[in-house]
Structure 1
């Protein structure tokens, strides 16, 4: 596995090794020892799988408050997405900044989104499936969000269209108004 640092401290692009022959291919999408050697000591407790029927579906920007915050390891297993992490750790040098990457079933790249970051993705085609691991169980009472088009964050979404949103995501607050208990350097 190749672990590539991004401009946001703690956010990594992960490129699994692919082994193929005339039958097809094999890859490890997660290996606890490989992650540990890269300095990432994670204990994933839940796997999630989502399906989005339409191009332009946007899910996020989501996070859970501490102490139920989640690290996510995200991959696209059918189709393609634009995956985004936003630093929401107060006091961070990159507070309010975002990083985005195209994850596809073909490129097999993954994005590691640590605690203290909001996460979202936009589907780039119809019939997309996304799978991700989390290191904390879903906690409805700690579930929070930030509006996808917050002008202070200014994510450059790749599709020039009004995204398909959930009711919850349509009503999410701006970063400045969001319930947020993350502080840089404090876990």
Structure 2
């Protein structure tokens, strides 16, 4: 595997190194030792899938608050998505910076999103499915989110989403979310 750093500190695009022969292909997609050597979460007690019917579906920007912030290792197992990590760690040198990766099932790449970062994606074609490895179990009382189009971040989405859940469309701006967190 190759770990390609991004503009968000601790976020990496993880590329597989395929070995092919007349039987087909083999590649390692995860190794706890390799992830730990890069300072990344190496234990994932929960895995999730996200199936999305139509091109232009947006999910995000979601994160889990303290005391159980979650790192995510996300990969497309069908289709292609524009996947985004947004640094919400106030003590990070890349605070309020975003990074994106095109996850493509055909390339078998993944995106590692560190704990304390929000995550979201936009489907680039119909019938996309993502597989998530999560460093923490889901805690609904700690689930948070910020607007995908918040001017505080200026994420350069490749096009305007067509489908957004009511919940995601109703998320507040980051400044409003931070005021909520303080009260």
> Which bin holds the TM-score, normalised by the shorter protein?
over 0.9
- TM-score (structure 2 length as normaliser): 0.92
Q: Distance in 2 between matches of 1:71 and 1:93?
A: 18
Aligned position for 2:134: 134
Q: Which runs of 5+ in 2 are unaligned?
A: none
Q: Distance in 2 between matches of 1:20 and 1:180?
A: 53
Count residues with an aligned counterpart: 181
Q: Given the superposition, is the C-alpha separation of residues 72 and 180 from structure 1 closer, same or farther in structure 2, using an over 3 Å criterion?
A: farther
Aligned position for 1:151: 151
Q: Given the superposition, is the C-alpha separation of residues 180 and 140 from structure 1 closer, same or farther in structure 2, using an over 3 Å criterion?
A: farther
Deviating more after overlay: 13-22 vs 63-72: 13-22
Give 1:41 deviation, angstroms: 4.4
Query: Superposition pairs for residues 17-96 of structure 1, below 5 Å?
Result: 17-96=17-96
* Residues 122 and 161 in structure 2, CA contact (< 8 A), matched pair in contact too: no
Q: Given the superposition, is the C-alpha separation of residues 36 and 131 from structure 1 closer, same or farther in structure 2, using an over 3 Å criterion?
A: same
1:176 maps onto 2:175 in alignment: yes
Q: Distance in 1 between matches of 2:71 and 2:5?
A: 16
Q: Given the superposition, is the C-alpha separation of residues 180 and 119 from structure 1 closer, same or farther in structure 2, using an over 3 Å criterion?
A: farther
Q: CA RMSD in A?
A: 1.8
Aligned position for 1:100: 100
Q: Distance in 2 between matches of 1:41 and 1:154?
A: 28
Give 1:97 deviation, angstroms: 1.3
Give every structure 1 segment of 4 or more consecutive aligned residues whose post-TM-superposition deviation is greater than 6 Å: none
